[in-house]
Structure 1
């Protein structure tokens, strides 16, 4: 039986471990709003400024695979505190950057912390919560993932407009400086072996991290309209390196960064498969929805961020409710219901530019903005975003919990790294693929709304595919 004191202690630990990832996610999504301001401040072209974001993603791909080994070797608490300290230092240096190359370099320091915080924090919570409360805690940890894409652009727009782009980074400092001493006091000591014999898998690192970085770079180039050589060469190199890592992980001696044998466990492989497809659907929608409001309805950056807020509110509600339900009934039903709600919330966007709602696209139901009238009314799209948010929020926490309940206690850190890496790969692939598809649809269609509608139909299909691995999730924790 769980006492009130234990629940309060667990909540405090979760709140501390939640604060820094919230900042990291807010930072990652708010920097995009400052692109024009950075270009003007440093008098640099957008093709150079975009490396402020792309370089950060590349660095994340390099760092994430190391998180599991570092937590096992040095202790999860120490690694997490180091990650927050690195993120704090990187934020301060970014705010003080004197040139574009210095800003890009300091963003890499920030990414060291950002890449370690989520997987290591999840591993700590998995150990502290135990199987009976893992769904509840993972759902709480998923809230910033859903909130950040909506709040980040709003926060970034306000800071850039009122104080300047440097405050996007300076705003992190007071929160991080409060979190660090709280973590030192509240977070339980990790179980690092301290064993120098537990060496870092250097060959695996040389294969997996550059492979991840090459994939992210190639996909980012595809989304930015890069040349075929700039897209396919790094993608091919990335795939070759990742395949080489899989061979090494299965045949090599010692403990690999991410053990491919974990995927032989049904619960783990089904949960990571769901995380991959969920990442593709979630991250791509975070690009498509605000872009639709800006391109098709004429909304500004701040207005587009506000119009995305209903999904964030729905996701927070879905995460809180799903966690308790998952702990009682197991993840399969909760994840399947969440996917169904997410699909239902995507349908109105797939009907943009036509469909049964075409007659409602005028008068009091017209979408806000100065662009062409769409075929789906504003109130229906806002309601759909709430429903979609509830569904996505309900899926993330129970699915991550299923990862931890399918592995041993000793494998938790490396399992956290694996599911985070797979989720980000899915997000990169989904975002790049749907961005390229949208560009082709916009070029071929006379109606921007119709182009977005066709692209959202593919996002709907990605969510539907997630039912396949979700059907293999365990019925009980």
Structure 2
């Protein structure tokens, strides 16, 4: 092969349009390796922190209602940058944006590992989220462009590996680091991975030119992001203190609500052709129903997963590593049904699949709401978690698909962005309020203390019969909190009944949407 032919072959991004069955060549695999490195960091970080919350609470002497913002602040930051990603990709170029995102994430990780109190850790987690929220969309855009449209399915299968393994490996890795090294290493571990990703990105990724195509809705961003944060913080603080008339609660909650309402007015203005979230799409029944289902499901599911490691560690006395292992059935269940749910959605219609998925999740959560006692069988709890995972795999992506089914091709990218923001915000609301509810349940049972809002004393400090009573009260607090989570899931059936129940229509070739940054969380 001549040198010119070799260069031509290396520059070829993939098979020609008439060869949709071509495999992924070495160049695409190299790009995929870079993208997967970034995805591993971003996805693991979502799941790795939950098993460390008890240790963080003890080290910083902070209650659960405060320390849960380590998780909530991160997801809120993700929601903030999702709508910015498309504009930033065009403005700076996808390679540059990807490297900036990784650098922000690594910087936030290093600083989080150095945190000296709960407030500093929360702030650094927000910085992490600002970078982490752009890693997956930018990476998927790079990989899709490198592979070509005919090989998107193969690309998704490669990047889907960390997405499926994250909920399994994250808690186990986090538990091991917390127990045998230090909780700080759940953040430090991102530094060498991120450094390697940056080096490989600079060497492997093809440079693309910045091509600004649309104007960023700066006013919408300024109104929505602090509005959501203020509203959520105010409501959570009022619930935690059982006093919504406090000055700080009123200022933050009312101020946040005003900003969110102002954003709504701004987004609905006829002159606003590129709103941060296109609220006009919610006039479509499929989009509105999918959004309602997603909000209730995410609030319940992610809130429930936040407090389960705390049950294992505080009530059952398990280590963080053991707690991570005990969470693995949920990830295994989701890994099994996510691909099946996608295929069933294409064959049967999303509405039918989502209803089945919700029913399965309800069965799993009901197991915790009825049987999460001080001596519940680990086999029983593992089965309940596995069932929750099975249902989750048949709920999340089919709900997203239901929203897209009736949209025009130019509406799909805007709807995808809106739904991903809704998912992240709902997860933030769920983790915040489930944590507040658990704290309130502990307080009602006279289990207040520093730490988790109900830390059990050491076995040698009180007589065994008294310790057993304390443990029983703590288990009852967790079990009661799961009833609230179950209630949210039951309400999710109402909007889910309005989802389309026919399989999606096959689009014509000339109606396929133009490539946009892909948002996946």
> Shorter-chain TM-score: which interval?
0.7 to 0.9
Q: Contact between 1:69 and 1:414, CA under 8 Å: does it hold in 2?
A: no
Alignment partners' CA distance in 1, 2:285 and 2:48: 37
Query: Among 104, 115, 122, which residue is 1:86 paired with?
Result: 104
Is 2:338 the counterpart of 1:319? yes
Q: Which shows bigger deviation, 332-341 or 320-329?
A: 320-329
The question of whether the paired residues in 1 share the 8 Å contact of 2:72 and 2:428 is answered with no
Q: Which moved more, 1:426-435 or 1:144-153?
A: 144-153
Q: How does 1:136-155 map to 2 (within 5 A)?
A: 148=166, 151-155=169-173
Are the counterparts in 2 of residues 120 and 416 from structure 1 also a CA contact under 8 Å? no
Taking the aligned partners of 1:280 and 1:28, their CA distance within structure 2 comes to 15
2:511 corresponds to which residue? Answer: none
User: Which SS does the other structure have where 2:22 is aligned?
Assistant: helix
* Structure index of larger Rg: 2
The corresponding residue for 1:460 is 486
Deviation at 1:316, TM superposition (A): 1.3
* 2:375 match: 373
Greater shift, 64-73 or 393-402, is seen at 64-73
The 5 Å alignment of 1:20-419 reads: 20-31=38-49, 45-46=61-62, 55-57=73-75, 59-71=77-89, 73-74=91-92, 78-95=96-113, 106-118=124-136, 148=166, 151-180=169-198, 193-195=211-213, 198-221=214-237, 225=241, 228=244, 229=246, 230-251=248-269, 252-352=271-371, 372-374=374-376, 377-419=377-419
8 Å CA contact 2:113–2:184 kept in 1: the answer is yes
In the alignment, the residues of structure 2 paired with residue 258 and residue 291 of structure 1 have an alpha-carbon distance, to the nearest angstrom, of: 35
1:410-443 CA-to-partner distances (Å, cap 9, x unmatched) read 4454433321221122223333333333344445
Contact 2:51 2:309 in 1 (8 A): no
* Alpha-carbon separation, structure 2, partners of 1:55 and 1:389: 25
Distance 1:443 1:216, change over 3 A: closer
User: Where do residues 426-445 of structure 1 align in structure 2 (5 Å cutoff)?
Assistant: 426-444=426-444
Find out whether 1:476 has 2:493 as its counterpart.
Answer: no
Q: d(CA) in 2 for partners of 1:311 and 1:345?
A: 10
Contact 1:274 1:470 in 2 (8 A): yes
Count of equivalent residues? 453
Identify the range of structure 1 (242-251 vs 199-208) with the bigger mean alpha-carbon deviation. 199-208
Per the alignment, do residues 146 and 321 of structure 1 end up closer, same or farther by CA in structure 2, a change over 3 Å counting?
same
- Aligned counterparts of 2:363 and 2:180: Cα–Cα separation in 1: 38
Distance 1:343 1:52, change over 3 A: closer
Q: Deviations over 1:273-321 (max 9, x none)?
A: 2221221121111123223333443333332222221111111112132
Post-superposition CA distance 1:17-47 (Å, at most 9, x none): 5543442242244345556766898xx5537
Gaps of 5+ in 1: 354-366
Deviates more, 1:203-212 or 1:214-223: 214-223
Q: Which residue of 2 aligns with 1:356?
A: none
TM-score, normalisation: structure 1: 0.77
Query: Any idea what the Cα deviations from partners look like across 1:310-353, whole Å, max 9, x if unmatched?
Result: 11111111213222333343322222221121112222212127
CA distance in structure 2 between the partners assigned to 1:312 and 1:51 by the alignment: 23
Shift of 1:51: 6.5
C-alpha separation in 1, matches of 2:152 and 2:350:
12
Question: What per-residue deviation string (whole Å, max 9, x for no partner) do you get for residues 73-117 of structure 1?
Answer: 555565344323322343345456688877665444322211223
Q: Is the 8 A contact 1:404 1:412 kept in 2?
A: yes
SS in 1 for 2:395: helix
Distance, in Å, in 2 between the alignment partners of 1:90 and 1:438 is 29
The RMSD of aligned alpha carbons is: 4.1
Cα 1:97–1:440 shift into 2, 3 Å: closer
Cα distance in structure 1, aligned partners of 2:480 and 2:19: 49
Helix, strand or coil for the counterpart of 1:299?
coil
CA distance in 1, matches of 2:144, 2:359: 27
